[in-house]
Structure 1
Amino acid sequence: MKHINFLIAEDQLDKATDIVDVLKENYKNSDFDYSVSYAGTAKKIKKLDFDIIILDMSMPNFDPKPGEKPALKALAGRDIMAKMQYRKKFVPVIVVTQFDIFGRHSDAVSIDKLSIDLNNDFPNIFSGCVYYNTQSKSWEEDLIKIVDGLTDE
C-alpha cells in the first residue's frame, strides 16, 4: 500500500478526528499533520510537502489562543488554494465541509456552485468536495472514493 502524507486543515477537533479515523482505516501506511487556521495552513503548505490536503472551507484567520473563540473566515479554503496556485504548489486538495452555503446574503454561494468555481479556478489543485454530515456515512465513502482516485497508480 502506498504511503500518503496528509495535511488535515480543520479547526473542529471532533470533525478532524472523524476524518483521520476514516483515512487511517483505509490508508494504514499514512502520516498526518494538522493545522487549525488559515495562517497555520498556509505556513505548513509553504514549508512542508504533502501528498493530499484535506481542507475545511471555513477556518479562523489565525491559530486561536486557549479559550478563545475566533471569528471564522468563510472562504479560507479558497484563499489557501489561491495562495497554493500563486506559489505553484500543485498538491491535491479535498474540501471537507459541513456547510452547504458559504458567505452571507448577496455573497452567499451553495456548495455545488462553490465546487464548480473551485474546479474552474484551481484545476491543478481542487480534487473534490465532501459534504460532512455526522448523521450519514456517505461522506466517508465520498472521501475514500476521491482519495482512491488520487492514489491509483
Structure 2
Amino acid sequence: MKILVVEDDENKLDQISEILRLIPNLSLTSKRSYQSGLREILDSRYDLIVLDMSMPTYDKSSSEPGGRFRKFAGKEILAEIRREKVDARVLLVTGFDTFGEGATFITLQEMDKKLSVLFPSVYLGSIFYNASETNWADELKAYVLTIQETLHA
C-alpha cells in the first residue's frame, strides 16, 4: 500500500510517519507544501493521501520562507484531485479545530461535512491531531487498516 503524507509541521510529520511505519506492507512518501504535495499527487499514484489543511505554498528552506501560507491548502488540493480526475483516497489530519476568520471562518466539523459533499468520491474524513493525546493515532491506524483490507479484498 502506497501512502503520501503532505504535512509542513516537522513534529506532526514525524509522529504520523512513526504510526504509519508500524503497519506492515506500507510504502511511505512525504511532501512539505502545497506545490510539492500537489506535484507528487499528479505524478504518482497513491492508495491513501494523508493531507494537512493549512500549509505554505512552497517547501521551506534556509533561503525560502515557503511563500504565501494557504489556510485552505488541503481543500485546494482536493479540488485539483477532482479536476484532474486522480484516483485517490484522502484523509485530512489537522491540528486546527477552526479555519479562516470573518466570512471564511469554519469549524473542523463544518469543514468535514463540506468536504464530504464536495469530494464524495475521494474524501474519507478528518482526524483532529493533538500531540499530547493518542486517540488521533488510533483513528489513523483504523483508517489505514480498513483501506488495506479493501485493497486486498
Shorter-chain TM band: over 0.9
Which 4+ residue blocks in structure 1 deviate beyond 4 angstroms?
Answer: none
Structure 2's unaligned 5+ residue stretches are: none
1:53 and 2:46 equivalent?
Answer: no
1:136 and 2:133 equivalent?
Answer: yes
**Cα offset for 1:67?**
5.6
What is the rounded CA distance, in whole Å, between the counterparts of 2:89 and 2:141 in structure 1?
Answer: 14
Alignment partner, residue 77 of structure 2: 80
Taking the TM superposition and a 5 Å limit, the aligned residue runs for 1:9-88 are 9-25=6-22, 27-66=23-62, 68-70=64-66, 71-88=68-85
What is the rounded CA distance, in whole Å, between the counterparts of 1:28 and 1:77 in structure 2?
Answer: 27
What is the rounded CA distance, in whole Å, between the counterparts of 2:94 and 2:8 in structure 1?
Answer: 11
Alignment partner, residue 120 of structure 1: 117
Alignment partner, residue 149 of structure 1: 146
Give the count of matched residue pairs.
Answer: 149
Structure 1's unaligned 5+ residue stretches are: none
Report if the CA contact (8 A) 1:7-1:35 is conserved: yes
Q: Tell me the SS of whatever aligns to 1:66.
A: coil
Alignment partner, residue 89 of structure 1: 86
- The share of aligned pairs that are identical, in percent, is 28
Root mean square deviation of aligned Cα: 1.3
Alignment partner, residue 105 of structure 1: 102
**Cα offset for 1:93?**
0.5
